[in-house]
A and B are shown apart, each in its own frame.
Chain A
Amino acid sequence: MIKIWSMKKNEEAAAKRKPKTSAAQIRVQKDLTELDLPSTMQTNFPDPADLLNFTLTITPDEGMYKGGAFKFSFAINTNYPHDPPKVKCAQTIYHPNVDLEGNVCLNILREDWKPVLNLNSVMVGLQYLFLEPNADDPLNKEAALEMSKNRDQFLQNVKMSMRGGNIKGVQYDSVLVR
């Protein structure tokens, strides 16, 4: 057998024994404690001992979704950051890039995810969807079509949906900030 131990450079190197904390767990701790969120975004941990499952509430202070509070669930698996966090909208909302099941069309949550991105990037990306909805990448086709064809009607629909209104037979959740 090769003598590996003698390759250890010095005592200091030998002392570098790492804890049993998983890489995913350390990374999530680092991501969360270094979040730099504006006042329009807030995290909530149903179980503060569980850092892997939490919600994010976005309350845009400008744009067409101003006045609403939008809730997203985050679920992080043990293969983070190789795998992106799983993010879903917890409410039924009227938005071109969010479907009625809560799926979100945000490139960094799927095809463009890289381990160098972090939870902060995902959260900022989500908030951006409310400031600049993107009709070119629709998940809610009706909403996207309305947005590009008839912007006034779209704005009205957004307002109505946020109050818990019904648009074309779909009942939306009331998301107004009380």
Chain B
Amino acid sequence: MASQPNGTSTDWPGRYYHIDQVLNTPGPRTDPAFLAGDGVKTFLRNQAKILVIGAGGLGCEILANLALTGFKDIHVIDMDTIDISNLNRQFLFRQKDVGQPKATVAAEFIMKRVPGVKVTPYFGKIQDKDDDYYLQFNLIICGLDSVEARRWMNATLVNLVDPENPESLKPMIDGGTEGFKGQARVILPTITSCYECSLDMLNKPTAFPICTIANTPRLPEHCIEWASVLEWPRVHGDKKMDTDDPDHIGWLYKIAAARAAEFKIEGVTWSLTQGVVKNIIPAIASTNAIIAAACCNEAFKIATSSAAYLNNYFMLIGTDGIYSYTFEHEKRDDCPVCGGEALEMTISSEMTIEQLIETLVEKQDIQIKKPSLSTPTKQIYLQAPPQLEKATRPNLEKKVSELVPPGGEVTVTATTLPFSLSLRISYST
């Protein structure tokens, strides 16, 4: 194995024998830019830096897969600590690790088990990190369990794209599982459809009509919702319910069980109570394994150009047999994150907000009527409702330069726009 490019002591002969079958020679489907042999191996093993978001069910699988396919510089973020209920499928954790941060324990496990791989953990939120942090990676893989975190990550990566800097475009591979169902997708921010584009495809969490909960409970879930949605705020007022606090769950369980007894409903248990209030869907280890494998396959193909990557949505339905389907989810023009128009505007530093609005209205190519303007931090001028119009009216006479810094962004909404228009303002004088 003299051709091994990076002769670190940990790369014993034949270590990457199977992977090198793919990397040593181009194939019929490889990208023309594919650097067969040392070029691609050096990139994968010495240069590529990959970020894994989430070290839970999917994250454990993803970390192991990446380390074993030859990624050597892996970072992982997770804000959670290990719970005993994770141990059946999150195989990087042991009983002694319960209570420890997932990211840290996972990183140590991988480094101990796969020599030469550096895993850098961060125990905290993705929101703690700034643009510079995300800019250092070549690729980002998400194994998240919340819509909110995915939306944040997606929007952050779309916003990161800087027309002047090709390096700012970071492919995001998003995996997700729910019971026997799952999906893996490749998002190239601003190029392919983003996570926000497909928000309306989500299954909504089961919610019961509040009147059923209040009057005609028939299911144990109705009793639990009664305790959490109606009784908790009634008894505890503004005190926030913490679904991770065993005392809170215990209280809800007690109230729900009493209600169930009153209506002769069976099945209210501690774990169901926790499941309902935390909206837990049982996690299936094999679904996680399949989806994580699909995600890591894409990461490998994108990092090496060794084969065509997924375009762009793979879904798996394992509820009745095994079914999978791959399709191209289209970009939405009216997507609030990646859609809409962006306009560069160079204006005089003397121009007032009112003049800016007139300019927008007169612009033939955008056809705006009654635009409302804001910056990421404040409202500039809102056409309605009357109170907000009045509150923002004094801004009309102000100079744009007083409210928007050079290069600053202004978000414009109007009924005639599908969603919004963003202006990037620069000043000529």
Contacts and interface: CB of A to CB of B under 8 A. Distances in A.
B196 interface: yes
Given A5-B166, A19-B411, A30-B413, A51 B199 contact: no
A21 B161 contact: no
A52 B253 CA distance: 33
Contact of B210 (A11, A17, A43, A103): A103
A113 interface: yes
A34 B412 CA distance: 13
A35 B385 contact: yes
Interface string B299-338: 0001101000100000000000000000000000000111
A31 B335 CA distance: 15
B209 interface: yes
Interface residues of B, number: 72
Contact of A116 (B200, B210, B309, B384): B200
A137 interface: yes
A35 B370 CA distance: 13
Nearest to A19: B409
17 contacts: A2-B31, A4-B169, A5-B166, A5-B169, A16-B338, A18-B422, A26-B419, A27-B336, A35-B385, A103-B210, A103-B214, A105-B211, A110-B207, A110-B210, A111-B208, A138-B214, A139-B210
Contact of B415 (A14, A34, A103): A34
Nearest to B382: A33
A27 B214 CA distance: 32
A116 B201 CA distance: 12
B38 interface: no
Contacts of B422: 17-19, 21
Contact of A48 (B191, B229, B387): B387
10 cross-chain pairs, A with B, having the tightest CB-CB distances, nearest first = A19-B409, A5-B166, A48-B391, A137-B211, A23-B336, A14-B163, A33-B372, A30-B413, A111-B207, A105-B211
A141 B214 CA distance: 9
Contact of B196 (A2, A16, A23): A23
A82 B422 CA distance: 22
A112 B144 CA distance: 26
Contacts of A18: 158-159, 337-338, 340, 342, 422
Contacts of B43: 1
A27 B417 CA distance: 12
Contact of A23 (B155, B169, B374): B155
Contacts of B384: 32-35
Interface string B367-406: 0001010111011001111011001100000000000000
Given A5-B169, A30-B419, A111-B208, A20 B409 contact: yes
A105 B403 CA distance: 42
A121 B415 CA distance: 16
Interface of B: 31, 33, 43, 48, 138, 147-148, 151, 155, 158-159, 161-163, 166, 169, 171, 188, 190-191, 196, 199-200, 202, 204, 207-211, 214-215, 229-230, 233-234, 302-303, 305, 309, 336-338, 340-342, 344, 370, 372, 374-376, 378-379, 382-385, 387-388, 391-392, 409-411, 413-415, 419-420, 422, 424
A78 B155 CA distance: 13
A156 interface: no
B189 to A, nearest CB: 9
A20 to B, nearest CB: 4
Contacts of A25: 374, 376
B210 to A, nearest CB: 5
Contact of A7 (B188, B196, B207): B188
Given A22-B155, A101-B233, A32 B209 contact: no
Contacts, number: 174
Nearest to A31: B413
A115 B202 CA distance: 10
A171 interface: no
Nearest to B146: A79
A37 B409 contact: no
Interface string A75-118: 00011001000000000000001010101110100110111100
A13 B210 CA distance: 46
Contacts of A107: 209
B337 A97 contact: no
A25 B378 CA distance: 10
A105 B379 CA distance: 33
Given A107-B209, A115-B199, A138-B211, A78 B188 contact: no
A178 interface: no
Interface string A123-158: 000000000000001110100000000000000000
